[in-house]
Amino acid sequence: MPLHANVEPLSWESTFFHRASGRLLFSDASPMLSAAALAQYDIVQAKIPAGATAQADALAALGFRLAESEVDLSVSLTERPDVEAFDGVRRAVESDIPMLCEAARTTFALSRFRTPWYAPEDSGRFYARWVENAVLGTFDDVCLLLEDAHRRPQGWVTLRQLPEQEARIGLLAAWPGQTGRGIGRRLIQAAETWCRQQDVRRLRVATQLGNIAALRLYLSNGARIDSTAHWLYR
């Protein structure tokens, strides 16, 4: 199968990871993808539908390998009961950034930003920057911090508002050592409350196909699977 695609330079990732990075943009109007075009980059990413087996085979012939599989879900908030506001949730502020970054480095040590394409510490470093930017409102719009009665952190969720009355969860995680205590459900409730305050009607989230706990959490809270995809790297 011939592949028609352009390589979009990923300037921010290239600077952050110190590796020339690009991503394939597939289009029938694009030129046929060549090894020479790919050779200009240290890492080239491709995201394809999970059912696109012919496309996956063609990418494999060019040296691409599976990095991760992803499930995209969404929930219609108009079909969900309103959640009563509860104590213990606040918007994270700049003074919270150091502890949030440390928690993110631990929690997200394994992701698609993994060896052999990236250094072992790069995944945690990337998500630490993500949560920092969410607190500052420079990528996601907000980071909500869940605390117990003694103001000890229990988990966090970041959110970004999208067009057409939609929003997307960026990161959602229990604090290290606090899993299995219903924290994920409370974080989803906090996210839904924030969405309703912004007049958001649909909440989206993506997670790793292998993250069964996250899939169960989202599905049990009303989400439906919209699509599945593979990330392949060269």
What are the chain's domains? 5-63 (no CATH), 75-228 (3.40.630.30)
Catalytic residue among 41, 127, 218, 233: 218
Q: How far apart are CA 128 and CA 126, in angstroms?
A: 5
Q: Is 218 a known active-site residue? A: yes
The three-point CA angle 19-24-28 to 5° equals: 160
Beta bridge partners, 192, equal none
| 64 φ/ψ angles, rounded to the nearest 5 degrees | -80, 145
How far, in Å, are 2, 6, 195, 197, 229 from residue 53 at the CA level? 13, 20, 37, 42, 11
Q: At what angle do helices 212-220 and 183-197 cross, to 10 degrees?
A: 50
pLDDT 10s digit of each residue in the chain, 234 long? 889 999 999 999 999 999 999 999 999 999 999 999 999 999 999 999 999 999 999 999 999 999 999 999 999 999 888 777 678 999 999 999 999 999 999 999 999 999 999 999 999 999 999 999 999 999 999 999 999 999 999 999 999 999 999 999 999 999 999 888 899 999 999 999 999 999 999 999 999 999 999 999 999 999 999 999 999 999
Among candidate residues 138, 137, 136, 114, the one with its CA nearest the CA of residue 125: 114
Contact between residue 117 and residue 67 where contact means Cβ atoms under 8 Å apart: yes
Please report, in range form, the residues annotated as the binding site. 211
Q: How many helices (H) and strands (E) does the chain have?
A: 7, 10
Among candidate residues 165, 162, 160, 168, the one with its CA nearest the CA of residue 139: 160
Please report, in range form, the residues annotated as the binding site for acetyl-CoA. 211
